Amino acid sequence: MTIMEKKRALISVYDKTGITELARELASLGWELLSSSGTANHLRKAGLTVTEVSDITGYPHILGGRVKTLHPLIFGGILARRENPADMKDTGEYSIPLLDMIVCNLYPFEETARKKSTLDDLLENIDIGGVSLLRAAAKNFRQVVVLTDPSDYAAAAEELKAEGDVTLPTREMLAVKAFRTTALYDGMISEGLCQSTGYSSPELPARMPLVLVKKQDLRYGENPHQQASLYLPPLSDLPWEQLSGKPLSYNNILDADCAMRGCAMLQDCCGAVVIKHTTPCGMARGSTPLEAYEKAFRCDPVSAFGGVVGISRKVDAATLEKMAERFTEVLVAPDFDDQPLEMLREKKPSLRILRWKGGRASTLQFTGTWSGILVQQDSLPPLPVPEKSEWVGRPRPDLWDDLIFAWKAAALSKSNAISIIRDGEAVGIGRGFCSRLHAVEFAVKQAGGRAQGAVLGSDAFFPFPDGVQAAAQAGITAIIQPGGSVRDGEVREAAEKLGISMFMCGQRTFRH
């Protein structure tokens, strides 16, 4: 065969999985095998004949192995367009061997970064030549097959045997996969170096490459007709560990996310939340996990059926035994007593139990819309402080704990949201209403007589005095709300006239 006719594969892999089998298939089909030194030694031990890259280039590996394949004789053979006479003239004039396949995977930067390695270790595990090989081959995919995933080796070999070549659709797919691999790799490097150096880039830059790693496929999305998967940012881990139960669904993950937010907001106490459709239907604090759970459950026991429960403290035997009596989809907590946890697993094998590790996988929130992707910081709102806020009417520092709890409950709920709290327990929650007055009326109706002497939290301002008037008629003693309405004066006047103490915290907490 001439230089132009001979089929050649350049193989340079860190992960040797399946490479011997692929190389044997290629050799049996008459392909010449080229390789960098480490991979060449591996293949020779398997009895294969391999030409080293340095024998082609005339240069040894230099700089301690940092430069192996970066050479015009290699990249010319990858990038040459066979249908272009000028390219073919150059390959002939400079004796450039044409390459028909690149098999390459990259240094394990992600694994190195996850070990909390030094900056020098990270830098040594940034692959330069491998990324260049993949990009060059993917750019010229019509002439060069690019393989970067061992799971693709067998299919490519089968096509070579059956068709005499790798088909164009397969080449296109492999090229896209190669570019995705290098994009993800660069994302890993960017994130790893940010973590190692402490550099903090703007959270909302002018251009934001969105690089995500699939964690798991889900049965379906919000509804059965929607396909869905769970992805993580580079070098991120799930903030929870599943200890028991069926696989999580898309909706389970959304509700569990809200439960984790609730646990984060209640870390200063022994608290519990019951979540349904990403909004609380119960929330309370107590002296024990059981007391907090029971108080949260009784706010709306009908809606709590099939809900998601979050508890901010280690869950003990008494709480787990009580939960075994009810139907719950997901239980989230920072820890569990071992023996009763085994009991709950046996009694409720379908119950999904998550140990929340604290924290979150991302500090940004992405929302896909028909207009584009909305991105915002995903952070818990700062707690109101008396020194930076204003009392309307008589100050009630004796109600401060309940007012802050009411603010938290409203902040966790879907807007428009109203919470009514009595002694650390939500007795009424109006959430997801288009009208703030209707949210007040629903919460008041749910609370019934327990609204008498309770406090009320609102996630945004009252646009009219009617919400305050409805609260006063139910016996509400104090209100916490951000203010900011053009009718704040009328709202203040109504509160003072009705004898309600109102804390204007200045902190809106919408959740759409």
Determine the residue type at 2.
T
Grade residue 5 by pLDDT with cuts at 50, 70 and 90. Answer: low
Give the CATH number of domain 8-195.
Answer: 3.40.50.1380
Report the range out of 62-71, 361-370, 497-506 with the highest average pLDDT.
Answer: 497-506
Query: Which range among 177-186, 280-289, 476-485 shows the weakest confidence by mean pLDDT?
Result: 177-186
143 pLDDT higher than 60: yes
Tell me phi and psi for residue 85, to 5 degrees. -60, -40
Task: Taking residues 50-59, report their average pLDDT.
Answer: 82
6 pLDDT higher than 80: no
Tokens of 383: 């707690």
pLDDT per residue as tens digits for the range 108-135: 888 888 887 888 888 878 888 889 999 9
Q: Residue 504: enclosing H or E segment and its boundaries?
A: strand 501-504
Tokens of 338: 């071992």
Residue 283, CA distances (Å) to 325, 374, 412, 463, 480 in order: 19, 29, 10, 26, 17
- Cβ pair 222, 278 in contact under 8 A: no
pLDDT per residue as tens digits for the range 245-283: 999 999 999 999 999 999 999 999 999 999 999 999 999
Domains 8-195 and 386-504 share a fold: no
* Distance in angstroms (rounded) separating the CA atoms of residues 460 and 485: 9
Tell me which of 277, 322, 357, 438 is the catalytic residue: 277
Cis peptide before 41 (omega within 30 of 0): no
Grade residue 236 by pLDDT with cuts at 50, 70 and 90. Answer: confident
Q: Compute CA 265 distance to the chain's CA centroid, rounded to the nearest angstrom.
A: 20
Q: Label the pairing between strands 8-12 and 101-104.
A: parallel
> Per the confidence metrics, is the pTM higher than 0.85?
no
Task: Taking residues 366-391, report their average pLDDT.
Answer: 87
With b for 16 or more beta-carbon neighbours within 10 A and e for fewer, the 78-114 pattern comes to: bbbeeeeeebbeebeeeebbbbbbbbbbbbebbebbe
Grade residue 2 by pLDDT with cuts at 50, 70 and 90. Answer: very low
Tell me phi and psi for residue 332, to 5 degrees. -120, 130
| CA pseudo-torsion sign 333, 334, 337, 343 | positive
1 pLDDT higher than 70: no
Q: Say whether 277 is catalytic.
A: yes
Sheet bearing 240-244, strands edge to edge: 240-244, 352-356, 328-333, 307-311, 271-276, 279-285
Catalogue the E-assigned strands of 13-56: 32-35, 51-52
* Distance in angstroms (rounded) separating the CA atoms of residues 24 and 205: 48
> What is the percent of the chain where pLDDT is above 90?
68
430 CB contacts (<8 Å, ≥6 apart)?
A: 416, 417, 418, 419, 438, 439, 440, 441, 442, 443, 446
**Class (C level, CATH) for 386-504:** alpha beta
Determine the residue type at 357.
K
- Cβ pair 374, 366 in contact under 8 A: yes
Q: What is the mean pLDDT of the chain?
A: 91
- Cβ pair 185, 127 in contact under 8 A: yes
| CA pseudo-torsion sign 194, 198, 204, 206 | negative
Concatenated DSSP letters of 186-212: HHHHHHHHHHHH-----SS-SS-----
Determine the residue type at 220.
Y
User: Any idea where the domains of the chain sit in the sequence?
Assistant: 8-195, 239-356, 386-504
Tell me which of 7, 16, 139, 177 is the catalytic residue: 139
- Cβ pair 170, 182 in contact under 8 A: no
Grade residue 201 by pLDDT with cuts at 50, 70 and 90. Answer: low
- Cβ pair 449, 472 in contact under 8 A: no
476 pLDDT higher than 90: yes
Architecture field, domain 239-356: 3-Layer(aba) Sandwich (3.40)
What pairs with residue 147 in β-bridges? 103
pLDDT per residue as tens digits for the range 432-444: 999 999 999 999 9
Q: Say whether 139 is catalytic.
A: yes
